[in-house]
Structure 1
Amino acid sequence: MKKIYIALLLLSTVFGLTGCNKFLDEDPISSKASENFWKTEKDGNAAVASMYALLRKALNNGLFHYAHGDLPTDYFTPERDLGGEDFNQIQELDWALAVPTASTWRSMMRNRRFDHFYSAIVQANSCLMNLPRIPKESFDTEYETSIRHFIGEAYFVRAFSYFYMARVWGGVPIVNDQVSATVDMTNYRRATAEEVLKKALDDALLAKSYLSWDNVSAVDKGVRANKGAVLALLAHIYAWDGDYENCELAAKELINNDYYSYTPRNNYTDIFKGNSTEGIFEIAQNSQTETARDMIGSYTLKAPYLTTNTGNAAWPLDTLTLRQTLFNDPADLRVVHGFDFFDTADPISLKYKNISYTTSGTVVLPLFMSNIIVFRLSDIALLLSEAYAAQDKFGASRDLINRVRGLAGLGSTQVADAALFEEAINERGRELFLEGHRFYDLVRLAKVKGVYRFGSGGSTKITASEFQRGKYYWPIDPVLIINNPLFSQTPYWASEMR
């Protein structure tokens, strides 16, 4: 991604993220701009790029992307301490844990708050309002093509933010027009989950009407939205809503364009360095100005890959899930190249081993330089397989599963047609291990098939009754309700908070 972010945002990302006492205390860059801003193509590009920087902050804050998408699943064992404040409780779905209101640094508080997503939304709103003001004559590129792509990116970021929050909390406030330095939420209520998902869908469809396939530079490919990114988002929105017919259409449109290609599995971990041929949408943090010290690799790696940790990985993987439920064939290239210490009591994933080191005084500090891979080609292929299975199109579903298995050096799946939906979820668990998808995949499995597999072995973590009551949606932190009494607690958790 072009290095055009405001310096304050860069510094906050490099040196760590802190909590906030106000509902929003991170200003979108446009709110600080002078009257001379929004005058040139460069201004528009900078404003659009800042949306992604703010989105990066949202997904990194409290390890949000992985704390929500992977940690509460069967990937990690509850039998060993996970280390770090509140990570055990997050893993065990003890999301009602009491946290003092002053402890804004606590992982539980940061993961129960949606603050940073609204920074990205406000910046997107500001772009949608102000981009059309930029004079045509200020553009070095073809105006109509570039301005339409900028606007499409703003709709995409807003759609993505609402969809992400809809999966985590269900209902959240919908802010369509707020562009001031801080969002005054005192007059907002939480919209319903259905309203938020519809908002995400509407914005994504608008983004699709504006975005092209090719109007991004080579360095921006994958880390700034194009038509492929919005089609991937649409496929996920439709799948989450149970609309597998439209999920199929969006996923097929993406795959049939042949814009992306699979990375050979002998080079599997290259995907996570970022900007691979397989990447559809990524959060850029693979340069010195984008990375941070407290990242997923801090918790999932150990020596010799993470030289500052000579003990076990902080987040221990569940060996039953790893070696029996998912990777029961040691010839799987994703095992061969994606793990180490696989047959020991402390196996580790190598997806986030792209590390450089710096020093502070005499202290050596790791810098984790792997992108967050939000959507990639095999993700959408397996989502399409899931959509086919949900519609009883078993041959097409099986072909896609076998395509991904073939890349990994495996033979065809032998499961019966009736088991193909669950097999698509299983293959996603293998292929997308530790990429922030597992929890949402298991929610869809529970919705469609009534199979509750959130824990390892026979442990569910969420019973059928709890699932129907909405336990899979997170509570919002009580400090948000203190700040705005119009907010109501997520229904399942209303009587559970302590």
Structure 2
Amino acid sequence: MMKKNLTIIFIVLLAIQLPSCKKFLELEPISVATDQGFWKTGEEADASVAGIYALLRKSLNNAQGTNYFAYGDFPTPEFLPYLYGEDWGAISEMNWATSIPLSADYRNMGKMRRFDSFYKVIDQANRCLKFIPNIPADKFTDKERGKNRLLGEAYFMRAFTYFYISRIWGDVPQVLETTDNPASSQELSRTPASEILAQCVKDIAAALPLMEYGYKNASNRAVRANKGSAFALLAHVYAWQQKYPECAIAADSVIEKGGYSLIDSTQYLNIFRGQSSEGIFEIAQSADNENSGTGSFFWGTLKAPYIPNSTIVNYRLDDLFLKELYAEDITDIRRNKAFDFLNTPEPICIKYANVRLNTNAEDYVFKNNIIVFRLADIILLKAEAMAASNNNNGQTRILLNQIRNKRGANNSLVTDNKLFEEIISERARELFMEGHYYYDLVRLAKQKAVYKFNNPLVFLPRRMNATEFLAGKYLWPLDPSLITKNRKLTQTPFWTGKL
């Protein structure tokens, strides 16, 4: 144990000495030291909190750099069910019970049915929440203010990670104290999703008074959480719980106090480079790790001329769905700037086309962040909340048309009884291929019993019908390897007996 602790101390202290951006992107703690030689300074605390972000980045880039988008976009009409690459087609078609050999731990399906990597994120947050309070405030550059900020970030990251995995699996094990390896060393049963989400709200409530709007260091904008990030997360948690009045209030705190602004139309694609005026919370990508080469999700969405000598796109968009989505919006900058080959059978989304050829001329480096929350998302989420409450359709339309007009589209003429559904469609236009649409469709199904998971052409495979949705198919199964190792884990109800 002492040797292990000293190794981790060395890793973290080395990170402390690196330039801040490099340190933040590259710190990936394997464990954490808990002996008396560590957790003594503000620098060590900051490096340990940065380690939470690094572990989350690694989890969201699992499965060939595609996890985040495979959960949030692949099982929607954005993509054709037939995707190139092992398991991606089955994932898009929601054939999540696909059998794979236990020895095939490289398979994307198996990786995506496992949640253990996310528990490393949670454990790192738990470690920070356990040890940082014991560090004297005078050991931090900003004294109590700096100490509070780091604790707020740790609470935020724990809440975000639990919210993220609960949207995927529903009931998940809850661990609020640090252990050496909570996902594998303990036998943990699944905690009801309602309790998981309630704890998320508690963690956010704990984080908010410790955090501030804005950033002391501009290089941390959006890639480290602040009070605006926490309120954005709270709004999303409340929307998932269908607590829409509370969602609207949380969204207001972002919109009115966060200091964010919608980006100018001429700079629209800069959103995806990261840290724009819209950015609220983003995953800073490291070109040296997850964000390079053919293992990146971004690579699979592009072809020539954006990637030289590549004539096909791995992750094919549904051209008919796109035509329907933007049918009345020929002046919409989202249609005109975010896509190419739009009037062909193989359109591509170029939001993530910020790519350069590596110095060895054999690999590609993508300079894009994962945009988790941004201002347009939260404005539309508030509009969704107001439409669900059905008490001020006029104000709801103002919010909806604020986004549409900023993007060059005309005011929406949809009738009041279709307003909620139209806002979900507007979120599809605005947040296309940003990891939101699947969860938006789940909320639509829960709120309005409207099921839009399938592609427009009827001969394509059907992902999910109303009966399957109500039976819980929208939640992922656990990989059998997890259940084999943990006798207290049970399979997600819909998938019981199917794998």
Between 1:282-291 and 1:205-214, the stretch displaced more is: 282-291
Asked if the contact 2:169–2:476 (Cα under 8 Å) also holds between the matched residues in 1, the reply is yes
Displacement of 1:488:
0.2
Aligned counterparts of 2:326 and 2:110: Cα–Cα separation in 1? 32
Aligned to 1:467: 469
Aligned counterparts of 1:346 and 1:228: Cα–Cα separation in 2? 38
Aligned counterparts of 1:99 and 1:210: Cα–Cα separation in 2? 46
Aligned to 1:491: 493
1:75 counterpart (49, 73, 78): 78
Aligned counterparts of 1:433 and 1:327: Cα–Cα separation in 2? 15
TM-score with structure 2 length normalisation? 0.91
Aligned to 2:61: 60
Alignment coverage as a number of residue pairs: 473
Name the amino acid aligned to 2:470: Q
**SS of match in other structure, 1:397:** helix
Aligned to 2:439: 440
Aligned to 2:421: 422
Displacement of 1:137:
2.9
Between 1:434-443 and 1:456-465, the stretch displaced more is: 456-465
The answer to whether 1:163 aligns with 2:182 is no
Aligned to 1:21: none
Aligned counterparts of 2:266 and 2:138: Cα–Cα separation in 1? 49
1:388–1:7 Cα change, 3 Å: closer
The answer to whether 1:376 aligns with 2:379 is no
Q: How does 1:143-158 map to 2 (within 5 A)?
A: 143-158=143-158
1:209–1:7 Cα change, 3 Å: closer
Deviation readout 1:101-126 (Å, 9 max, x if unpaired): 11111110111111111111000000
Aligned counterparts of 1:395 and 1:6: Cα–Cα separation in 2? 44
**SS of match in other structure, 1:489:** coil
Asked if the contact 2:234–2:250 (Cα under 8 Å) also holds between the matched residues in 1, the reply is yes
Asked if the contact 2:357–2:363 (Cα under 8 Å) also holds between the matched residues in 1, the reply is yes
1:265–1:179 Cα change, 3 Å: farther
Aligned to 2:45: 44
Displacement of 1:197:
1.4
Asked if the contact 1:146–1:215 (Cα under 8 Å) also holds between the matched residues in 2, the reply is no
Displacement of 1:292:
3.6
Aligned to 1:14: none
Deviation readout 1:59-79 (Å, 9 max, x if unpaired): 11111110010000000113x
Aligned counterparts of 1:34 and 1:310: Cα–Cα separation in 2? 52
Displacement of 1:357:
2.5
Aligned to 1:104: 105
Aligned counterparts of 2:454 and 2:307: Cα–Cα separation in 1? 28
1:177–1:44 Cα change, 3 Å: same
Asked if the contact 2:171–2:191 (Cα under 8 Å) also holds between the matched residues in 1, the reply is yes
Aligned counterparts of 1:328 and 1:366: Cα–Cα separation in 2? 36
Q: How does 1:3-402 map to 2 (within 5 A)?
A: 3-5=22-24, 9=28, 27-28=30-31, 30-31=32-33, 35-62=36-63, 63-78=66-81, 81-141=82-142, 143-180=143-180, 183-285=183-285, 288=288, 291-293=291-293, 294-307=295-308, 309-358=309-358, 364-392=362-390, 393-402=392-401
**SS of match in other structure, 2:358:** strand
**SS of match in other structure, 2:496:** helix
Deviation readout 1:17-69 (Å, 9 max, x if unpaired): xxxxxxxxx733x24x7643212111111001110000001111111110010
Name the amino acid aligned to 1:104: D
Displacement of 1:201:
1.7
Displacement of 1:177:
0.6
Displacement of 1:3:
2.5
Asked if the contact 1:279–1:376 (Cα under 8 Å) also holds between the matched residues in 2, the reply is yes
**SS of match in other structure, 1:454:** coil
Displacement of 1:456:
1.4
Displacement of 1:330:
2.3
TM-score with structure 1 length normalisation? 0.91
Name the amino acid aligned to 2:435: G
Aligned counterparts of 1:242 and 1:216: Cα–Cα separation in 2? 35
Displacement of 1:295:
1.8
Aligned counterparts of 1:195 and 1:420: Cα–Cα separation in 2? 31
Aligned counterparts of 2:141 and 2:290: Cα–Cα separation in 1? 27
Deviation readout 1:157-190 (Å, 9 max, x if unpaired): 0000000011000011001112425644433101
Aligned counterparts of 1:265 and 1:180: Cα–Cα separation in 2? 48
In structure 1, runs of 5+ residues without a counterpart are: 10-25
Aligned counterparts of 1:491 and 1:371: Cα–Cα separation in 2? 35
Asked if the contact 1:48–1:150 (Cα under 8 Å) also holds between the matched residues in 2, the reply is yes
Cα RMSD for the two superposed structures:
1.8
Aligned counterparts of 1:408 and 1:327: Cα–Cα separation in 2? 15
**SS of match in other structure, 1:281:** strand
Aligned counterparts of 1:354 and 1:325: Cα–Cα separation in 2? 25
**SS of match in other structure, 1:367:** strand
Aligned counterparts of 2:168 and 2:175: Cα–Cα separation in 1? 17
1:183–1:97 Cα change, 3 Å: closer
1:8–1:217 Cα change, 3 Å: closer
Aligned to 2:478: 476
Displacement of 1:462:
1.4
Asked if the contact 1:326–1:426 (Cα under 8 Å) also holds between the matched residues in 2, the reply is no
1:6–1:374 Cα change, 3 Å: closer
Displacement of 1:356:
2.5
Aligned counterparts of 2:388 and 2:340: Cα–Cα separation in 1? 35
Aligned counterparts of 2:481 and 2:434: Cα–Cα separation in 1? 29
Displacement of 1:408:
1.1
The answer to whether 1:2 aligns with 2:21 is yes
Asked if the contact 2:477–2:492 (Cα under 8 Å) also holds between the matched residues in 1, the reply is yes
Displacement of 1:325:
3.0
Aligned counterparts of 1:320 and 1:5: Cα–Cα separation in 2? 41
Aligned counterparts of 2:326 and 2:484: Cα–Cα separation in 1? 43
Aligned counterparts of 1:333 and 1:325: Cα–Cα separation in 2? 13
**SS of match in other structure, 1:65:** helix
Name the amino acid aligned to 2:71: H
Asked if the contact 1:284–1:290 (Cα under 8 Å) also holds between the matched residues in 2, the reply is no
Name the amino acid aligned to 2:79: F
Name the amino acid aligned to 1:408: R
Asked if the contact 1:267–1:337 (Cα under 8 Å) also holds between the matched residues in 2, the reply is no
**SS of match in other structure, 1:374:** strand
Name the amino acid aligned to 1:4: K
1:171–1:292 Cα change, 3 Å: farther
Aligned counterparts of 2:104 and 2:117: Cα–Cα separation in 1? 17
Name the amino acid aligned to 1:394: N
Deviation readout 1:326-384 (Å, 9 max, x if unpaired): 45422211111111111111111111111232256xx6111222000000000000000
Aligned counterparts of 1:261 and 1:215: Cα–Cα separation in 2? 15
